[in-house]
Structure 1
Amino acid sequence: MNSSNLTKESLAKLFDHTFLKAYATDADLTKLCDEAKTMNTAMVAINTEWTAFCKEQLKDSDVHVGAAIGFPLGQCGLETKLFECRHAIEQGADEIDYVINIGQAKMHHWDYIKDEMEKIVAICKEHHVLSKVIFENCYLEKEEIQKLSEIAKEVKPDFIKTSTGFGTGGATAEDVKLMKDTVGDAVQVKAAGGIRSWQTCKAMIDAGATRIGTSSSIQILKEFEEANA
């Protein structure tokens, strides 16, 4: 994808418009969904608690509801993630973003990572729901990011994703490029974490990202329009 070919409408359709804060209220999520409908984003990214609520808010639009599973630490155990994944889908989730067990990745227990990915992706495929695998790159070495991407190329989730936005660092264009170069056309890449300007967003798209997770969608679109006026 080339950022120079984007329109305001096609850029908005790359956004997973995000509100994942612990203090979320129904007013916050209503506002999020109203904004997503106005912009016609790809998705709203929310904690599982709000799946049914957002599904109702978005029922007259084509904006997806995306539930964050095992979020943000990825340390709740596989059985808990599988339960949460199934529950979110039952509640109306169209997309699932789950956090890998980062500790298992740091210990290079790649069989665990692959099994976890296979089981969650299988649930998503069974229910025709998009799957995204969150790596949390700020805690990983480049070789570990590459290895995770190689596993994903084999398992084939719909997306691999840079970050939760709750770690010590967010997306970098360097990491997006590494991930995309590794998976090629087999898997898409979502950049998330710290993307608050059109300049940063543009760098992620040019590096290979085809989804952008951000709570700054409105600001980015405004800057995009100003840059292309």
Structure 2
Amino acid sequence: MDIKQYLDSTYLKTAAQAGVTEEENIETAKHYINEAIAEKFKLIMIRPEMVRIASSLTDAADSLVLVGTVIDFPEGSAPLFDKLKEAQQAIDDGADELDYVINYTAFKAGDIDSVKKQVYECTALGLKNNKTVKWIIETAALTDSEIVRLCVLIKNVVLSHFEERYYERVFVKSSTGFYKTEGGAPNGATVPAIKLMLENSFPLPVKASGGVRTYDEAIEMISLGVKRIGTSSAKAIAYGGSAESSY
């Protein structure tokens, strides 16, 4: 097993979040992109404004590393029109994969129809453009029951509207890694949450993101059945070390 083919190397901080200038943040993003190319990770996950840079660097290196980006990140509460507009721009800029943050706040409030509509329309846009789509459900913001119901909602929309050949290209993903929890509770992937996702998303694949910090934890997630792992410490994990950050 090549663990690198499970790893989505991730850098999603803004300059303000990183405490650096915009120029310094771009250089940090380039470091992650070039590292992903050198290490042959599955994908580099980058903010939308960095997609053109990532696409240019991977193309120049004739690299198989995919370029992914996040849409409506990290809150997921933007209107559907804005979600689609941001996704289309990412497609135009060269993104291979679109990781949408689902409007979990609307879901928790019972606005199920609007959530179903965004899952359908955003997924359709991605698949129409031959992209992989992932739905970030933000498990730390949900109860176990809500995790189950949201996974089932996404699965049912996909199975109802798209052909079986597309299922492997629509993921359910655990976390943004930026959700603020209380009392130091985990804000990313946990084994119990991932088990619920796997059980209730099948046949859609699952991505564990946030909170996978060691090689052993990554192997455990893979053994459970996840197809991707998002981490900002992909190189450390790949070589048996531990993550340097919380994501």
**8 Å CA contact retained: 1:198, 1:221:** yes
- 1: CA distance between counterparts of 2:77 and 2:111? 14
Return the match for 2:231 from 205, 209, 214: 214
Deviation of 1:19 after TM superposition, in Å, equals 0.4
Deviation of 1:199 after TM superposition, in Å, equals 2.1
Give me the CA root mean square deviation: 1.3
- 1: CA distance between counterparts of 2:32 and 2:214? 18
Q: Tell me the percent identity.
A: 34
The 5 A counterparts of 1:129-144 are 129-144=131-146
Structure 2 unpaired stretches of 5+ = 16-21, 159-168, 182-186, 242-247
4+ residue segments displaced more than 2 Å: none
* Equivalence for 1:192: 209
1:41 maps to a residue whose letter is: F
- 2: CA distance between counterparts of 1:113 and 1:202? 33
Deviation of 1:196 after TM superposition, in Å, equals 1.6
Return the match for 1:63 from 45, 62, 65: 65
**8 Å CA contact retained: 1:97, 1:132:** yes
Larger deviation, residues 113-122 vs 203-212: 203-212
Q: So what's the TM-score if we normalise by structure 1? A: 0.90
The 5 A counterparts of 1:151-190 are 151-156=153-158, 158-167=170-179, 168=181, 169-184=187-202, 186-190=203-207
Larger deviation, residues 24-33 vs 125-134: 24-33
**8 Å CA contact retained: 1:195, 1:216:** no
Deviation of 1:182 after TM superposition, in Å, equals 1.1
1:108 maps to a residue whose letter is: G
SS of the residue corresponding to residue 240 of structure 2 reads helix
Structure 1 unpaired stretches of 5+ = 1-5, 225-229
2:50 maps to 1:32: no
Deviation of 1:181 after TM superposition, in Å, equals 0.9
SS of the residue corresponding to residue 160 of structure 1 reads strand
* Equivalence for 1:44: 44
**8 Å CA contact retained: 2:172, 2:201:** no
Number of paired residues? Answer: 215
